[in-house]
Structure 1
């Protein structure tokens, strides 16, 4: 059975002066990513995919270097479009995220709707699953993307899915590549 490992990027450098899609992994995020890549199960990876956001690119590049595989970039694996608000402080951001999931057909404060984002993400996920060489894959993406994908794969309504196990990111799902079914729910990379 081939596996798709769907990983949410770990911690990032939050800088309100830099566009959110350009935020890189922080040193802690890089250390946690390196720890994840030590897993023996990843030795059989044939390809890595990521969104085009810097934090996911950083993780995919690290994986490709360590595991000796190529990586592809698919913008449709990106987080929901939040450019209408840009950076929001956490006290404002997290309640808005919950509204995004609670009202999946609405453009909450101008954000891309959860339903539209989910359709895009599922297309990208299926494309990777169908086009990559036979074997295990790693997709490095984002927490919101993971939640929307998990809802689809579990056959539940958006907002009813399991959530990533760590608030800083760096969590993964294991998915049967052929059946497109979750075989292991959210696990978190160990902290320092």
Structure 2
């Protein structure tokens, strides 16, 4: 049987400029999307779920681990690109910085972690998760590092054109070939049980 790796980003979050971004949780829409996937998605083939230690990723992983009857592992190194130098940025400014993060991967944008460093970190974390899991696995994480991982696995240069179209998207990798089977898809397109 083919081993698969699914990478799923957390869906919509409760934005609060007074709370550090890693501590943001899912909002009602995001939580409802996760519940729907847990209730209707085909999660039976997943042997283990790995999550970033950020609250929104854990809130995505926990119901899915329960539905899949799979152990959940928290891995700190799966966190989103480190943007603590700027903290919360209003959406237009954030999008401008994110564009620069992907466009200049060898540079730190206003103190943000460099894209090449974030990519090396998420690739290393993913390799560890694969090595420590017998069977298929699900990683719950974030759009920025997820896109960096996708670019690496697809053999593409770092480019924001490969980014998901909003939170709550996934891609699937065939571990026999090490290549993605498809690009980002909304979690509602997950195969049904």
Q: What TM-score does the superposition give when structure 1 sets the normalisation length?
A: 0.93
Write the distance in 2 (CA, Å) between the matches of 1:44 and 1:156. 28
Aligned to 2:180: 182
**What runs of 5+ residues in structure 2 fail to find an aligned partner?**
none
Instruction: State the Cα distance separating 1:50 from its structure 2 match.
Output: 0.7
Residues of 1 paired with 2:48 and 2:79: CA distance?
Answer: 18
Deviation per CA, 1:5-52: give whole Å up to 9, x if none.
100110011001111000011111111112223222x21111000111
Count, aligned residues: 187
Which is further off, 62-71 or 80-89?
A: 62-71
Task: Tell me whether 155-164 or 137-146 shows the greater mean CA deviation.
Answer: 155-164
- Equivalent of 1:39, from 16, 38, 41? 41
Question: How far off is 1:160 after superposition?
Answer: 6.0
Match for residue 76 of structure 1? Answer: 77
- The match for 1:127 is 128
**Structure 1 residue 103, shift from structure 2 partner:** 0.3
Q: CA deviation at 1:130?
A: 1.0
Q: Which residue of 2 aligns with 1:152?
A: 152
Partner Cα distance (2:69, 2:121) in 1: 29
How much does 1:182 deviate?
0.1
CA-to-aligned-CA distance 1:127-169 (integer Å, 9 cap, x gap): 1111112x211100000011100110111111166221x32x0
Q: Spell out structure 1 runs of 4+ moving beyond 4 A.
A: none
The answer as to whether partners of 2:99 and 2:160 remain within 8 angstroms in 1 is: no
* TM norm structure 2: 0.93
**Deviation larger for 61-70 or 10-19:** 61-70
Q: Secondary structure of 1:109's match?
A: coil
**Superposed CA offset, 1:159-187 (max 9, x none):** 166221x32x0000010123221012211
Match of 1:142 in 2: 142
Distance 1:56 1:71 in 2: 12
Task: Identify which range, 23-32 or 115-124, moves more after superposition.
Answer: 23-32
RMSD: 1.4
